[in-house]
């Protein structure tokens, strides 16, 4: 073990400039990769539970809401609600209808704004009960609106995708740019590691030859190289993790959250998940090129 550690550290020092290049490339590429992971999680958060299942939300009248089909100061009656449900279910364009009471809507609201000051001033009575509607063909939004839009007790109809999709397009573009750039950089990092390790192995060719001759196991011969590249990879991952944490603190927590409160923002648990992802990538990217680069020196 002492031998392994000593050789790994001396290898890192001998190739200091190459090692630094590896660490910096790892750092930048893993940061981009982490940003891609965070963007993906942010998209999922905004989509929420319903986005992938339903297209349309039919909001019912409440005492606080106003609309041409509402009786001011009164909730939609049970009879109104049932006739809206019947109309939706009878519509051939509708695939499924889910009703959510005020209490159920408030439950979702509480989850979405768990750490927001808005929550203190809200209760279930401030919520609108609603129907979530899945369509056979998502494009046929207008047909459904036409059939139930004028019914008494319906306050408003909203096509969820109509206003979320442009946002997702941007977020997805950002994510793919980040992931694409990071993929190229990660490839470069992997090649750099392979080169660095190959050079380290060449400079220790004589020792390796003797080790093989006297019967040192492959694991023993490989260990210093693996440790060397894993150390460099983990250092890059640690720097990238630190960068992501800084982004979360200074961009999301300090700036975005106070500025835009209607959206649920990614939290520290999402950052932790992204860091786990990039540590995994760093390990794979340091171990695999090392195994490939040293294979030639270990062939018996």
Partner 1 sequence: MITFDQVAKTYPGQRRPALSHIDVTIDPGEFVFLVGPSGSGKSTFLRLILREHRATRGSVTVNGHDVGRLPGWRVPRLRRQIGTVFQDFRLLPGKTVHENVAFALQVIGKSGSHIRRTVPQTLELVGLGDKADRLPDELSGGEQQRVALARAVVNAPPILIADEPTGNLDPATSVGIMKLLDRINKGGTTVVVATHDSTIVDQMRRRVIELNAGELVRDQAQGVYGYR
Query: Interface residues with partner 1 (CB under 8 A)?
Result: 3, 206-207, 209-218, 220-221, 300
Judged by beta carbon, residue 13 or residue 206, the one nearer partner 1 is: 206
Nearest-approach distance from CB 218 to partner 1, in angstroms = 7
**Separation of alpha carbons 212 and 217, rounded Å:** 7
Nearest-approach distance from CB 292 to partner 1, in angstroms = 16
Judged by beta carbon, residue 199 or residue 216, the one nearer partner 1 is: 216
DSSP 134: E
Task: Give 65's strand partners.
Answer: none
**Separation of alpha carbons 22 and 241, rounded Å:** 16
Nearest-approach distance from CB 294 to partner 1, in angstroms = 14
Judged by beta carbon, residue 121 or residue 206, the one nearer partner 1 is: 206
Nearest-approach distance from CB 216 to partner 1, in angstroms = 4
CB 154 within 8 A of CB 44: no
N-terminal to C-terminal alpha carbon distance within the chain: 23
Backbone region of residue 161 per phi and psi (left: phi > 0; alpha: psi in -120 to 50; beta: other values): alpha
Nearest-approach distance from CB 177 to partner 1, in angstroms = 44
Judged by beta carbon, residue 181 or residue 211, the one nearer partner 1 is: 211
Nearest-approach distance from CB 215 to partner 1, in angstroms = 4
CB 148 within 8 A of CB 157: yes
CA-nearest of 283, 146, 157 to 226 is 283
Judged by beta carbon, residue 195 or residue 218, the one nearer partner 1 is: 218
CB 26 within 8 A of CB 242: no
Nearest-approach distance from CB 291 to partner 1, in angstroms = 14
State the Cα torsion 136-141-144-146 to the nearest 10°: -160
Judged by beta carbon, residue 6 or residue 49, the one nearer partner 1 is: 6
Q: Could you give the 3-state DSSP secondary structure of residue 133? A: strand
Judged by beta carbon, residue 205 or residue 249, the one nearer partner 1 is: 205
CB 7 within 8 A of CB 211: no
**H or E element: which one contains 88?**
helix 78-90
């Amino acid at each position: 073990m002492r031998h392994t550690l000593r050789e790994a550290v001396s290898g890192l020092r001998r190739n200091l400039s190459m090692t630094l290049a590896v660490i910096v490339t790892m750092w930048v590429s893993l940061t981009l990769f982490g940003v891609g992971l965070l963007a993906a999680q942010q998209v999922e958060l905004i989509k929420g539970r319903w986005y992938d299942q339903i297209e349309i939300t039919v909001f019912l009248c409440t005492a606080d809401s106003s609309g041409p089909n509402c009786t001011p100061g009164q909730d939609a009656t049970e009879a109104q609600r049932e006739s809206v449900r019947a109309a939706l279910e009878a519509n051939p364009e509708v695939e499924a209808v889910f009703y959510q009471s005020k209490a159920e809507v408030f439950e979702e609201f509480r989850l979405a704004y768990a750490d927001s000051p808005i929550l203190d001033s809200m209760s279930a009575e401030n919520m609108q009960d609603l129907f979530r509607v899945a369509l056979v063909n998502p494009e046929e939004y207008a047909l459904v609106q036409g059939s139930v839009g004028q019914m008494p007790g319906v306050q408003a109809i909203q096509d969820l995708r109509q206003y979320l999709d442009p946002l997702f397009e941007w977020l997805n573009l950002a994510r793919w740019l980040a992931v694409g750039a990071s993929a190229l950089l990660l490839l470069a990092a992997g090649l750099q590691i392979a080169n660095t390790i190959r050079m380290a192995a060449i400079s220790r060719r004589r020792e390796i030859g003797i080790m093989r001759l006297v019967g040192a196991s492959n694991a023993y011969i490989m260990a210093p190289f693996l440790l060397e590249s894993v150390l460099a990879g983990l250092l890059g991952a640690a720097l990238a993790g630190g960068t992501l944490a800084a982004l979360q603190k200074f961009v999301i927590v300090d700036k975005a959250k106070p500025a835009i409160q209607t959206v649920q923002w990614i939290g520290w648990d999402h950052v932790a998940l992204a860091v786990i992802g990039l540590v995994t990538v760093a390990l794979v990217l340091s171990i695999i090129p090392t195994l490939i680069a040293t294979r030639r020196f270990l062939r018996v």
